């Protein structure tokens, strides 16, 4: 049934009705829709009435990116000149530091960030690392590439009592936060603010009911003056997992099996160096069981990223792998919540064996993946942590330490618990493919001229689990393709 908004702004033919405005704006018109574009980072549209403080509610608005936008690594020198260089504020109740979300009690923000790009937060405080402990009222969408000069409808819904916060793009759900209740919440300010030289904005509506998914789809269909069908299919494929292709890779005579471990006997564990929470790892008849700490210990406070982190663990395969690579193993989530990833082609910055040339690392910290002198690809295949969507499974492939996102893909549903799943990653030259339960979740090509180092082609592999994880792994096989050269 069609829902009627309580407040509506930026309506066609009368864009500035009921709005206050600070600074200069220009009117923009394309594909049957009109909007306002800020001339300055100090230009503001002031929204005088909203429903964000209601127990249940929804909002929708249209945005028009002026550039192609995606995720990127942020060079270390850039924030020295502008702290919030990666942030693009879409809607906030804090007009002072417009692209800084910490002081806002409500903020909807797009970010250039490899891990998560669209935040909706309902509390006053930090986002990212600082927002994870204690739990805050936040929902986060994963990789969201935006094509310039297209209208997108953003939708947000909230149910404060149930801790349920969701984000939609063009009627497609891209984020939901429901696994973690008892969230900290802060009342929103009286006014909301919009305005960015990067986005034009149009038709902002507030509702006093929490929309169901079909309500957002209906709102998009009703309000869209023109639908870019190829773009809509692309959004649907990435964020709902429709139409995933099958993958059935089998080694031929050019491939050599380097590792074949059932992981059900104590002797299998000798093939690994355990880094971080050693007590988390045990061998069972099912396979290697990884049980990390359920609560953070004082040594692992995220505001101290250089501290020893005993709550997380790596299983580093001692075998050095050279050349094209194929990895496969099975995993079984024992409970909801947690995160597991596989790192591969992990070497020092000059292709050296970091496990041989340097002291063995002992911390379980995530910085080993993305923030140290170890090059690698990492694939997060089980993602049920605080800062990712929780309604369906999502996968991300990143090249490190550049923090370069290479692939993002959702599956149609959440991975079943207490059931075996199989992952497989195959790298042939610069092409990297990954499959989960036989379905391709990424098929990408790395490049040596992308400002992210060479195409990686040697190193160790590791299976890593973050805190709050209960996961069993078995039947690890690793292949190398025979190289055209011979080392003696």
Residues contacting 233, CB < 8 A, separation 6+: none
pLDDT tens digits along 36-86: 999 998 999 999 999 999 999 999 999 999 999 987 766 667 777 777 778
Per residue in 378-427, pLDDT (tens digit) is 999 999 887 788 789 999 999 999 988 899 999 999 999 999 999 999 99
Q: Which two tokens stand for residue 360?
A: 């063995």
pLDDT at 137: 65
Per the prediction, the chain carries an average pLDDT of 90
Residue 132 clears pLDDT 70, i.e. is over it = no
Whether residue 177 is predicted with pLDDT greater than 60 in this model: the reply is yes
How does residue 129 score in pLDDT terms, banded at 50, 70 and 90? low
Domains and CATH numbers, the chain: 7-240 (2.60.120.200), 255-481 (2.60.120.200)
Rounded to an integer, the average pLDDT of 446-474 is 95
Cβ-Cβ contacts under 8 Å for 484 (sequence gap 6 or more) = none
Which two tokens mark 222?
């009703």
Q: What pLDDT is attached to residue 485? A: 81
Cα–Cα nearest to 10, from 166, 194, 191, 147: 194
- Mean pLDDT over residues 148-163, rounded? 93
| CA gap 376, 108 in Å, rounded | 32
pLDDT score of 179: 59
User: Where does residue 412 fall: left (phi above 0), alpha (psi -120 to 50 degrees), or beta otherwise?
Assistant: alpha
Cβ–Cβ < 8 Å for 89, 127: no
């Amino acid at each position: 049934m069609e829902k009627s908004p309580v407040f509506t702004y930026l309506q066609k033919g009368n864009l500035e009705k009921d709005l206050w405005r600070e600074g200069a704006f220009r009117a923009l018109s394309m594909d049957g829709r009109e909007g306002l574009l800020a001339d300055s980072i100090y230009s503001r549209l002031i929204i005088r009435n909203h429903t964000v403080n209601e127990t249940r509610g929804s909002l929708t608005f249209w945005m028009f990116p002026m550039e192609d936008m995606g995720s990127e690594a942020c060079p270390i020198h850039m924030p020295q000149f502008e702290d919030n260089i990666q942030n693009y504020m879409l809607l906030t109740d804090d007009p002072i530091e417009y692209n800084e979300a910490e002081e806002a009690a409500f903020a909807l923000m797009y970010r250039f960030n490899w891990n998560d790009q669209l935040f909706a937060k309902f509390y006053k405080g930090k986002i990212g690392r600082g927002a994870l402990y204690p739990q805050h009222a936040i929902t986060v969408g994963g990789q969201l590439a935006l094509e310039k000069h297209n209208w997108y409808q953003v939708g947000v819904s909230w149910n404060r009592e149930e801790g349920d916060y969701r984000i939609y793009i063009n009627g497609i759900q891209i984020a939901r936060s429901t696994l973690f209740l008892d969230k900290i919440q802060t009342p929103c300010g009286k006014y909301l603010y919009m305005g960015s030289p990067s986005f034009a904005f149009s038709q902002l509506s507030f509702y006093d009911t929490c929309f169901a998914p079909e309500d957002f789809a209906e709102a998009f269909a009703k309000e869209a003056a023109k639908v870019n069908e190829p773009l809509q299919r692309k959004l649907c494929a990435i964020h709902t997992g429709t139409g995933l292709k099958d993958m059935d890779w089998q080694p031929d005579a050019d491939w050599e099996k380097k590792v074949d471990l059932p992981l059900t006997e104590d002797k299998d564990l000798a093939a690994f160096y355990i880094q971080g929470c050693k007590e988390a790892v045990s061998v069972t008849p099912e396979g290697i069981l990884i049980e990390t700490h359920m609560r953070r210990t004082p040594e692992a406070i995220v505001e101290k990223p250089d501290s020893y982190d005993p709550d997380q663990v790596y299983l580093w395969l001692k075998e050095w792998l050279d050349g094209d690579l194929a990895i496969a193993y099975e995993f079984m989530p024992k409970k909801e919540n947690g995160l597991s990833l596989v790192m591969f082609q992990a070497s020092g910055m000059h292709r050296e064996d970091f496990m041989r040339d340097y002291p063995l690392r002992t911390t379980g910290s995530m910085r080993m993946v993305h923030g140290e002198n170890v090059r690698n690809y990492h694939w997060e295949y089980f993602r049920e942590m605080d800062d990712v969507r929780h309604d369906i499974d999502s996968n991300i492939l990143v090249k490190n330490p550049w923090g370069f996102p290479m692939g993002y893909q959702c599956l149609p549903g959440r991975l079943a618990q207490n059931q075996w799943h199989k992952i497989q990653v195959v790298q042939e030259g610069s092409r990297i493919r990954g499959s989960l339960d036989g379905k391709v979740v990424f098929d990408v090509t790395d490049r040596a001229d992308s400002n992210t180092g060479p195409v990686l082609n040697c190193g160790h592999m590791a299976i890593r689990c973050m805190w709050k994880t209960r996961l069993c792994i078995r039947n690890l096989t690793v292949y190398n393709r025979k190289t055209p050269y011979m080392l003696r």
